[in-house]
Amino acid sequence: MIGLIQRVTRAEVSTGGRPLGAIGPGMLALIGVKREDEPRDADRLLERLLTYRIFADENDRMNRSLAETAGGLLLVPQFTLAADTGRGSRAGFSTAAPPAQARLLFAYLLERARARHAPVAAGEFGAHMQVTLVNDGPVTFWLGT
């Protein structure tokens, strides 16, 4: 699984003008699911999301995690993250998980995240969404499992 994470002062996701989820200071995580991913990959990614140190400590160094800061977590499914972009000028999606598999793994990740952390908000799998955010830093990292 892939998590493209951004430290944010706020973020929200909507579809068709209908709000789906919003957070204040915390982490926006765009989630891609690859064909070979399994629940253990979602567990590993969640561990990384919660413990990756992207928030400033008292010395203004990135030494604090989402779990330590109790910031918000916004999970947004984004199948294009699992695309094959190695050749040509158009992405291929043979490396991305089929929709049924990706939907189950995203739901699993979301359920596990809500059991371990609060607040957690999410986008809607398969929806055409609009994501609004204020990236704090900017700070953006690509996490894989």
Tell me which residues are annotated as active site.
78-80
Interacting residues of 104 by C-beta distance below 8 A, sequence separation 6+: none
Measured distance CA(6)–CA(108) in Å, rounded: 21
Measured distance CA(121)–CA(102) in Å, rounded: 18
Residue 76 host element (H or E): strand 72-77
- Contact of 37 with 86, CB cutoff 8 Å: no
Measured distance CA(34)–CA(94) in Å, rounded: 9
Give backbone dihedrals phi and psi of 106, rounded to 5 degrees, phi first: -65, -45
DSSP count for the chain of H helices, then E strands: 3, 8
